[in-house]
Amino acid sequence: MDHRGEPGPIIVQIAGADPAQLAEAAQFNAEHGADIIDINMGCPAKKVCNVAAGSALLSDEPLVSRILTTVVNAVDIPVTLKTRTGPSADTRNAVRIAQLAEDSGIQMFALHGRTRDQLYKGHAEYDTIASVRRAIDIPLVANGDIDSPERARQVLDHTGADGLMIGRAAQGNPWIFREVAHFLETGKHLAPPNPDEVRLTLLEHLTALYEFYGEVMGPRIARKHIGWYFKTRSDFKRHKKTLFAIECPQQQYNAIDAILRNTQHEELAA
């Protein structure tokens, strides 16, 4: 995939367990427009961990070190790392991994406050992230359960992290980033997006999905995104079966547009 000419900064995430293959992947992406390479050692999914990649690597610190050093030395652009607090609650080794990362030349360390075996269950903990902050000098990004402006403030204060990474809370709610940024800067809340902005944003998102994934896969992949945008709507169950049965991009687009326009009209008439 050629990223040259795309809006930047372009950050490409790579995953795997073979240092040489990862270095080759990093070089390929650097040659095709990537500004930053991010190494994924945080994914807990079985399909990733079963091939000894993602967060499965946390159990092999020497291999982690070889991967990081090999990739950093393979490219002339910054390399960052995303990981978790450890394989399990009894084997939290994020501080050691962070030190290995810094020694290898990693330029930013992002840490999710759960272990590999937690998946996304329970709650993220931030004490380990705070411990990592005290152990390294490179920029640290805190991640995990940051789902509101207030939580963002709490996590920054508790961990001393330089920045935040928001994942699941942004699904269907891309406005969370501006809301968090505004709250951190002013201590005040932004008004939520109005219905027309929600409609236009979702339609723009759908168009991008169709263009990227094509007419067959685009509408299918769009279904989960529609579900995230609609998750707080009381009428979602009523529309879900119909929306998720649509295979044609234009029909899906028109159906979403009609539902959201009708909602706006109902709110104006109320």
Share of the chain above pLDDT 70, in %: 96
> Is residue 230 included in any domain, yes or no?
yes
Mark which of 149, 165, 186 sits at the end of a domain.
186
Let me know whether 110 and 233 are in one domain: no
- Residue position matching structure tokens 């790392």: 81
Digit-coded pLDDT (tens) for 144-192: 999 999 999 999 999 999 999 999 999 999 999 999 999 999 999 999 9
CATH classification of the domain holding 25? 3.20.20.70
Of 186, 212, 240, the residue at which a domain comes to its end is 186
Coil vs helix vs strand at 141: strand
Number of independent structural domains in the chain: 2
Report the C-alpha gap between 106 and 104 in whole angstroms: 6
The residue segments making up the domain with residue 234 are 195-269
Per-residue pLDDT reduced to its tens digit, 77-96: 999 999 999 999 999 999 99
**Is 231 in the same domain as 102?**
no
Q: Is 242 found in the same domain as 171?
A: no
Q: Is the pLDDT of residue 264 over 70?
A: no
Please count the other Cβ atoms lying within 10 Å of the Cβ belonging to residue 37: 25
- Same domain assignment for residues 232 and 130: no
Let me know if residue 120 belongs to a domain.
Answer: yes
Chain mean pLDDT for the chain: 93
Q: Which residue in 43, 95, 106, 161 is the catalytic one?
A: 43
Query: Looking at the predicted structure, is the pLDDT value of residue 99 above 90?
Result: yes
43 is catalytic: yes
Question: Tokens in use for 7?
Answer: 């809006």
**DSSP symbols for 216-263:** HHHHHHHHHHHHHHHTT-TTHHHHHHHHHH---HHHHHHHHHHHHHHH
Give me the pLDDT at residue 45, please.
Answer: 74
Residues 76 and 18 in one domain: yes
Read off φ and ψ for residue 164, nearest 5 degrees. -125, 150
Query: Tell me, what's the pLDDT at 270?
Result: 43
User: What are 43-89's pLDDT values in tens digits?
Assistant: 877 777 767 678 889 999 999 999 999 999 999 999 999 999 999 99
